Each structure stands twice: as structure tokens, then as C-alpha cells.
Amino acid sequence: MRANDWGGSTGRRRRLTGAAERRQFEARGGEAPPNLFMSKNIFEKIIAREIPADIVYEDELVLAFRDINPMAPTHVLIVPKKSIARLSEAGAEDEKLLGHLLLKAGEVARQLGLDKGGYRLVINNGKDGGESVPHLHCHLLGGRSLAWPPG
């Protein structure tokens, strides 16, 4: 369990825990101490309503809530309720879910009035991608003109 142990949103490094990591471990046939899997990551806690979030959309498959540290006037995270650590961990069985997530991101953008001006969807994958929370999520950013290329 070395390659994927980057830290949470505070930048603090920590060991990965939670359902997504359990799935990775099991997929690799790995062994792990039982207490490795006891805690949820921050998005799993939001999905479970263990910590609050400003929720803008929910259905049986996805949850969308405002980012706690917005990078644009509108900054929403759309997350699958299923624990998938990141896009590179998704499989063929997630095809419908990922399509649903993108369609709902577009719906949320419309609902929040971003259609006219435009918006950006971003998925950060892994360390070089800037991922800080190991639960797949799509950033919806809008409400201002966004520069390209990203940093």
C-alpha cells in the first residue's frame, strides 16, 4: 500500500482507509490489518450524512454538493455514492454510473444557471492529477471565465 497513499485535502499524508481502499486491497488479493478499513473518507462521511455539506442534488446513485474551498463562484462536486477511489479504479461495471454522473453534472450546471456562460468539469486522478480525496468526484466550476491550460 505505497503508491496511492497521498494525503487528504489538508495536504497531510495519511494511509488510505474506507470502502474504496478495501476494494483495491481485495482486488490485489492483499492482506491488511483489520483496523485499516474502519474509517470512511470525507466524501463517504458526507454521503452517509455524518458530516454536513451544502447539497445541491441527490439521487440513488450520485450526490452533488458545494466545494468547501471554492475555486470559482460556483464550485460543486458530483460524487458517485459507490466507493470508487478514482477514475483509474473504475471498471466496465461502472459504465452506466459514470454516464449518469456526467449527465447529472450537466443537469446540475443547468439548475445552477451555468448554461449560458459555460462551465468546466474536472476530474483529478492521482498524485500528478492533483487528487486530494480518494473518492471519485467531478468538479463543476463556473460563474467566471476560466483560464486554460490549468496549472
Residue 88 contacts ligand 5GP per CB under 6 A? no
Of residues 135, 121, 123, the one with CA closest to residue 48: 135
Site string for ligand 5GP, 132-151 (x = CB under 6 A): xx------------------
Q: Which is nearer to ligand 5GP, 13 or 116 (CB)?
A: 13
Are 133 and 114 contacting, i.e. CB atoms less than 8 angstroms apart?
Answer: no
Site residues for ligand 5GP, window 19-78 (CB under 6 A)? 42, 53, 65-69, 77
Residue with cell 483560464: 147
Greatest alpha-carbon span in the chain: 51
Angstrom distance (rounded) from CA 52 to CA 23: 26
Active site residues: 137
Q: Which residue ranges make up the site for ligand 5GP (CB under 6 A)?
A: 9, 42, 53, 65-69, 77, 124, 130-133
